[in-house]
Amino acid sequence: MKSLLGESRYTAVRDVFKSGAASSIGEGRKSAGRLTGDVRSTREPWKEVSASTYRWVRPSEVQKAMPPLEEDPTLAPKAPETDPVEEDKRPLLCEKFLVQDQLKIDYVDKSGNATRRSIRVEEVYAYDDGVFVLRAWCVLRKGYRTFVSSRIQGCRDALSRETIFDLLSRLKKRASLDPGNVAQEILDDMTMEIDLAIYSLTNYWNSGITKRVVSGKKKNALVDWVLQQSKAKSLLGSLDADKHIEVEDLVRQSIADRKVTHSSYDTCARLMRRPIRPGGGDHYEVRRQDLIVFVEEALQGKAAKGTAVTRLNEDLLDPSFRIGRKEDPNQSTKEIQQVKKDSRKAERNYKSKRKSEVISKQYRRYERGEPARLLTIEVALRNLQKCLEDERLLFGKDEFEECVMKEVEFAFSERELKQAGEMFRKRCGAGLSTAYCSFGLRKKNRSWFTDSTGKSWLNLMTRSSSPSIIR
């Protein structure tokens, strides 16, 4: 080397290597391929510790290099942190699932303010475009907040402090073990039968909307019948005994809380009614017969059995019966006002609690009866049935969903919409997802798809029978 480089140059190179500068030069070259600690990142081997830390370390040394995770209570804004323009650009339809997880996140709000949060995730709204939104209890603000995945700059497990690089996969894995999701899947699959059954078992009291809830022996009979369906048994069979009991309790509580309006009964009856033209594809034949037999057995020995069963037979089996009957708009208005009143009461109930686990339980109960979601399900089902009857089997998905949301919006005042904020749109999206499921539309069957021009379509020709009726 000395003979090739010469004495002076050889001495300079030797001194550089002895000082260790070459090592730092090599490290600098490797850092060109560095990767942030963002939840969307999956590549190796260089990771950034957090959004506000610019030390580049090996994966094995990430935990040692992490800074203390302390929140600054002066940084979290009181105003909503989501961007309304960004929300409107996002698709309306979303899959909602429940999950319990405690995280530490570095979050940038719509104004560009960066904060570090301790959150307890309660719900996830996952969109077809890959974006997902967390609905979580924020320790910093001591209230529920929404966090958009695209704004989460870094994420760690709140207990182990381990960096999380694929947050959605983690949440979905945990959600699959959440009894609340299993219970919701069972209830969504039986939405129409449950509403029809509750109304049939209680309507003969003729005491108005506030009495159309099921209780006592009839409630227990309905819960047992729902849990005996094929899909319910399949879902419950994969759970441990303790979670099996928890799912049953959640289904029981949800059915006890359910208040069925006359308009929602009519919507479900129209959907499950025998078609006028034979041979047109009857997806609900077995489900209708099962429902009628259940109501007849549940009212055994009751004087009102004949009235309830006769009405159900006429509404479901006689395609010409009650066709053309006009709905009373005043009655519908009274019904939705009562649902809103019940929802406000449930909201006050969870907000008045102090223990986090009690708040969580009551919040989930409140969400099940949230009027925007319930009304979206009813409106979407009614319009899907109308499209089917008019033989409009292929139509624009985005246009259909926006029309449904506009109709739902009409039932709320400006003050109510402002108070609901961005959650109104999310609840409408979750309601649409439930309606599609109840109507027999499935994403895996390409019931909705995007063509080569980027336009989204709904295809009613892919409508399938519910798995719960497969014998």
The answer to whether 404 touches 382, Cβ cutoff 8 Å, is: no
Q: What is the b/e burial string over 72-97, where b = at least 16 CB atoms within 10 angstroms of the residue's CB?
A: eeeebeeeebbeeeebeebebbbbbb
The answer to whether 418 touches 410, Cβ cutoff 8 Å, is: no
pLDDT at 327: 61
DSSP 327: P
pLDDT tens-place string over residues 117-146: 899 999 999 998 889 999 998 888 888 889
In terms of C-beta density within 10 A (0-12 exposed, 13-18 middle, 19 or more buried), how is residue 41 classed? Answer: middle
Q: Which two tokens stand for residue 288?
A: 């209708």
pLDDT tens-place string over residues 81-121: 677 777 778 889 998 999 989 999 999 888 888 888 899 99
Per-residue pLDDT band for 36 (boundaries 50, 70, 90) equals very low
Q: Which of 419, 209, 427, 194 is nearest to 330 (CA)?
A: 209
Q: What is the b/e burial string over 447-460, where b = at least 16 CB atoms within 10 angstroms of the residue's CB?
A: bbeeeeeeebbbbb
pLDDT tens-place string over residues 172-214: 988 888 888 899 889 988 988 999 999 988 875 554 444 567 8
pTM of the shown model: 0.74
Neighbours of 229 (CB within 10 A): 21
Domain boundaries, given as residue ranges, for the chain: 1-33, 35-175, 177-327, 370-471
